[in-house]
A and B are shown apart, each in its own frame.
Chain A
Amino acid sequence: MKIITMKSSVFALVMALLISGCTTGVQPDSEAGADAGAGAEDGEYETGATVGTIGDGGAFTGSALEGMTISYEKNAINDPGNVLSIKTIYFDYDSSELSDDDAEVVKHHGKYLALNSDASMRLEGHTDERGTREYNIALADRRAQSIKKLLLFQGASSSQITIISYGEEKPAALGHDEDAWKLNRRAELVYE
């Protein structure tokens, strides 16, 4: 079920790109159509926000894993060339779904935790500043939870992982625009 949702999200990305003709510089309103069709609950909102991110050439990196080494040795997490050096996962607005690439990264971390039972991870969830603070605490918790599920699926133990949700309280980037927001919608995998 997880895979289906991720694939459909990727499909939505591709479709959005095709439809928008890869408009750069045009920042689609992430709430386009919010006033039309009041009360309707569809997927346009999400898609709109995603196109904005790609148009900006920002957090979404299609080939992040290419050329990276894969190793689960003790100090692999400190090797900048290792896939485990990717310790920040970014999200779309009001979403806790991972992209396929990010899911792949998280799986490697899960294997690392499974093979190094003395390792432990603090999983921090964050959101951008939009929306209400307490909703964002819950949203950031969901982001961390969705990563934890993948880690456990790879054999990591629940006792190795501590989740803390900061919501919008600890932004990585200051500023009040998409450039800052896309960096703040994140989860950080912190080895302790």
Chain B
Amino acid sequence: MNRWILLFFVACFSQTANAVLKIDITEGIEGATPIAIIPFQWNSATRLKDSDISEIVSSDLARSGKFSPVAEKSLLARPQRPEDIHFKTWRVAGVDHLVIGSVQMVANDSFKVEFRLFNVYRGEQVLGYSFNATSATLRTTAHQISDLIFEKLTGLPGAFNSRIAYVTSSGKPVEYRLQVADTDGYNPQTLLTSKEPIMSPVWSPDGSRVAYVSFESGLSAIFIHDIHKGTREKIASFKGINSAPAWSPDGKTMAMTLSKDGNADIYIISLQTRALRRLTSHWSIDTEAAWMPDSNSLVFTSSRSGKPQLYELSLDQGSRPKRLTFEGKYNSNASVSADGKAIAFVHSANNSYKIAVLYTDTRVMQVLTEGPLDESPDFAPNGTMILYASQDKGKAVLAAVSTDGRQKQRLALSDGEVREPSWAAKRK
């Protein structure tokens, strides 16, 4: 069953000093699968700071809400080789799975990382990989290991080895920053700093670019920023608002909100030809488009019924919007899961704004968070979690909730406010 795959990585970014998002799991670990992750053995190499692979994997799996890693100090034994594992001991302790691994320095700044996943009850290895890495890519390797373990044990693709984008603000006068970081908040990089607001960051489907709105010129404009080249392109700077960019899943089209023809309406622009097509034409507010997975229809917010509600609209000529939400008087800012089965959005009741999910087949709505000022929901690429913006003691923080609402976590900056998270479908 051993599958050995060799992977090579290129350092993507230079390391810069930036405030790191700190993650705390705030609610719910019951029902999670117990897994023991033995600290990886470092052969002929000094353990690098912030690159403790077993710790990174443990924390990734714990954050998913689906696993409950055994605390390092509670480990019954620390086997290093498969033949050292005494499965019966782990079985008695109620541990379902066990991971061992090693990091070997093979040359200057060149490491070989190996790991093996065992099913404790069957007493056999179910997964084993080897990677090549440098000190700059060890964390990425750890997230890949988390993804492989997650996928093997849940059947769902992992979403750890990816990036998140978000906007921070701090200081007086306020300085706005557009940042991208690993999904655990590490390695933050600043793409843009501005004295004027930055809004609505969203990843391209391939994870190489971020679209956003910047007010740096004094008026709003939509940009597409290549995170590796560090170059950017202005996509829309029409008279009026240029807002809410949304990449179609096939990467060919971008939906946006413009008011150039008088009032906020949804438009789509071809990223190849730049041809602009107006999709809605209504006196009320139409905005916050989110694509369905087939790239042929959109969910958007409209106040055409008097208050904001979600509607779905096909791109086919002559289609009319179909109302999706009926509970409550404020339902807005949809994020559609990659399989199209669930739509996350902001739902307000009793003057509290909460994250809710609408299941597209049953039309059942479930409220997932407590409020009072939760917003900007964004599905993790595998649909298991929703990242969103929240307030904690008057301060803007990010938070995540598992789609079943059982597990919650908070991602806060020690200094400054953070909002509008977007989770890339993949790392590139």
Across the interface, do B285 and A135 meet the contact criterion of CB distance under 8 Å?
yes
Across the interface, do B349 and A141 meet the contact criterion of CB distance under 8 Å?
no
Across the interface, do B243 and A164 meet the contact criterion of CB distance under 8 Å?
no
Please encode chain B, from 346 to 364, with 1 for each CB lying within 8 Å of some chain A CB and 0 for all others: 1011110100000000000
* Bound CA–CA A13/B34 (angstroms): 59
- Residues A131 and B332 in contact in the complex (CB < 8 Å), given A138-B241, A138-B285: yes
**How far does the Cβ of A20 sit from chain B's closest Cβ, in whole Å?**
16
Across the interface, do A130 and B373 meet the contact criterion of CB distance under 8 Å?
yes
Closest to A39 in B: B326
Which stretch from A26-34, A65-73, A74-82, A108-116 is at the chain B interface?
Answer: A26-34
Most chain B beta-carbon contacts within 10 A, residue among A39, A129, A169: A169
* Number of residues on chain A facing chain B (CB within 8 A): 32
**How far does the Cβ of A93 sit from chain B's closest Cβ, in whole Å?**
9
A7 at the interface (CB under 8 A from B): no
Please encode chain B, from 215 to 226, with 1 for each CB lying within 8 Å of some chain A CB and 0 for all others: 100111000000
**How far does the Cβ of B197 sit from chain A's closest Cβ, in whole Å?**
4
Most chain A beta-carbon contacts within 10 A, residue among B301, B348, B375, B376: B375
A3 at the interface (CB under 8 A from B): no
Across the interface, do B263 and A145 meet the contact criterion of CB distance under 8 Å?
yes
A4 at the interface (CB under 8 A from B): no
- Residues A164 and B376 in contact in the complex (CB < 8 Å), given A41-B305, A41-B307, A134-B257: no
Please encode chain B, from 382 to 419, with 1 for each CB lying within 8 Å of some chain A CB and 0 for all others: 00000000010010000000000000000000000001
**How far does the Cβ of A46 sit from chain B's closest Cβ, in whole Å?**
9
A142 at the interface (CB under 8 A from B): yes
Residues of B within 8 A of A29 (CB): 350-351
**How far does the Cβ of B90 sit from chain A's closest Cβ, in whole Å?**
47
Across the interface, do A138 and B350 meet the contact criterion of CB distance under 8 Å?
no
Across the interface, do A142 and B285 meet the contact criterion of CB distance under 8 Å?
yes
**How far does the Cβ of A189 sit from chain B's closest Cβ, in whole Å?**
16
State which of B199, B218, B301, B372 has its C-beta within 8 Å of the C-beta of A135: B301
* Bound CA–CA A162/B218 (angstroms): 11
- Residues A134 and B308 in contact in the complex (CB < 8 Å), given A38-B327, A142-B264, A169-B197: no
A63 at the interface (CB under 8 A from B): no
A35 at the interface (CB under 8 A from B): yes
Residues of A within 8 A of B326 (CB): 38-39
Residues of A within 8 A of B373 (CB): 129-130, 176
A166 at the interface (CB under 8 A from B): yes
Residues of A within 8 A of B244 (CB): 134, 137
Please encode chain A, from 129 to 153, with 1 for each CB lying within 8 Å of some chain B CB and 0 for all others: 1111111011101100100000000
Across the interface, do A35 and B350 meet the contact criterion of CB distance under 8 Å?
yes
Across the interface, do A142 and B243 meet the contact criterion of CB distance under 8 Å?
no
Chain B contact residues (Cβ within 8 angstroms of A): what range?
35 or more
Closest to B419 in A: A133
Across the interface, do A137 and B350 meet the contact criterion of CB distance under 8 Å?
no
Please encode chain B, from 297 to 341, with 1 for each CB lying within 8 Å of some chain A CB and 0 for all others: 000010101111000000000000000001111101100000000
Across the interface, do B199 and A141 meet the contact criterion of CB distance under 8 Å?
no
A163 at the interface (CB under 8 A from B): yes
Across the interface, do B307 and A45 meet the contact criterion of CB distance under 8 Å?
yes
Residues of A within 8 A of B200 (CB): 133-134
Closest to A30 in B: B351
B144 at the interface (CB under 8 A from A): no
Closest to B285 in A: A138
* Bound CA–CA A66/B372 (angstroms): 39
Across the interface, do B241 and A131 meet the contact criterion of CB distance under 8 Å?
no
Residues of B within 8 A of A129 (CB): 373
Across the interface, do B330 and A131 meet the contact criterion of CB distance under 8 Å?
yes
- Residues A170 and B263 in contact in the complex (CB < 8 Å), given A38-B326, A176-B394: no
Across the interface, do B329 and A31 meet the contact criterion of CB distance under 8 Å?
yes
Across the interface, do A132 and B307 meet the contact criterion of CB distance under 8 Å?
no
Residues of A within 8 A of B376 (CB): 132-133
A97 at the interface (CB under 8 A from B): no
B420 at the interface (CB under 8 A from A): yes
A56 at the interface (CB under 8 A from B): no
Across the interface, do B346 and A131 meet the contact criterion of CB distance under 8 Å?
yes
A179 at the interface (CB under 8 A from B): no
Closest to B307 in A: A41
4 other contacts beyond A31-B349, A142-B264, with CB at 8 A cut-off? A31-B348, A34-B350, A45-B329, A165-B259
A-B contact pairs, 20 of them (CB 8 A): A31-B348, A34-B330, A38-B326, A45-B307, A130-B351, A131-B332, A132-B375, A132-B376, A134-B199, A134-B243, A134-B257, A134-B301, A135-B332, A137-B264, A138-B257, A138-B285, A138-B286, A138-B287, A166-B197, A176-B391
Nearest 5 Cβ contacts at the A-B interface: A138-B264, A132-B333, A169-B197, A39-B326, A41-B306
